[in-house]
Amino acid sequence: MSALTARHEYTIKEAAALTGLPASTLRYYESIGVIAPVGRGASSGHRVYDEEDLDQIMWVACLAATGMSVRDMPKYVANGQLGPCAAGEQIELLTAQQQRLEVEAKQLVLRQRYVALKIDYWHAVAAGDDGHVELLLGEARTLADEVKPASKR
């Protein structure tokens, strides 16, 4: 095989380092069908990753970074193989994920507001501004109710 057509192969440790995913996650993703079965070394029987495997792992890692559930990832990957006939289900999966992210983003904004309010509170406490302390306590109570998960309200 010439140097131009040489095929790069990577151990699971190398694949983990290149993709940023732990080896245990790579094994788990393979076991549940999120990534295709990986080839094995002829003599060692150990997983051997190629460039195509790494590409697949990287786009799965991007899905994981969006917070997509492990339950939805195999469906998404399988649908990707089906092409246009699976577009509707792909859109549904991604729309549901987008909605979950929107809820998370709103919760994050509320938590940031709460922390900023508590910083202001402690500045007022340090300054001995009792009037401002009471005002901020009232605002913090109101905001705390918004920050609580809906199930605990």
Q: Which tens digit of pLDDT belongs to each residue from 80-123?
A: 889 999 999 999 999 999 999 999 999 999 999 999 999 999 99
**Residue found under tokens 């788990």:** 28
The percent of residues in the chain predicted with pLDDT above 90, rounded, is: 70
Q: How far is CA 144 from CA 17, 100, 114, 139, in A?
A: 41, 21, 7, 8
How far is Cα 153 from Cα 143, in angstroms, rounded to an integer? 12
For residue 152, what pLDDT is reported? 61
> Stretch 37-62: mean pLDDT, rounded?
91
Q: Is the pLDDT of residue 1 over 90?
A: no
> Stretch 22-27: mean pLDDT, rounded?
95
Q: Is the pLDDT of residue 149 over 70?
A: no
> Amino acid identity of 26?
L
Cβ atoms 74, 37 nearer than 8 A: no
Cβ atoms 34, 69 nearer than 8 A: no
Q: Is the pLDDT of residue 140 over 90?
A: no
* Count of CB atoms situated within 10 Å of the CB of 93: 19
**What value does the mean pLDDT of the chain take?**
89
Any idea what the Cα angle at residue 72 is, between residues 68 and 78, rounded to 5°?
Answer: 120
pLDDT band at 42 (very low <50, low <70, confident <90, very high): confident
Q: Using CA atoms in the order 51, 55, 61, 63, what is the torsion angle rounded to 10 degrees?
A: -160
The percent of residues in the chain predicted with pLDDT above 70, rounded, is: 93
How far is Cα 59 from Cα 77, in angstroms, rounded to an integer? 10
What's the whole-model pTM score?
0.70
Q: How many residues does the chain have?
A: 153
**Residue found under tokens 């002829």:** 42
How far is Cα 124 from Cα 30, in angstroms, rounded to an integer? 54
Strands of the chain (E only): list them.
39-40, 47-48
For residue 2, what pLDDT is reported? 46
Q: Is the pLDDT of residue 147 over 80?
A: no
pLDDT band at 153 (very low <50, low <70, confident <90, very high): low
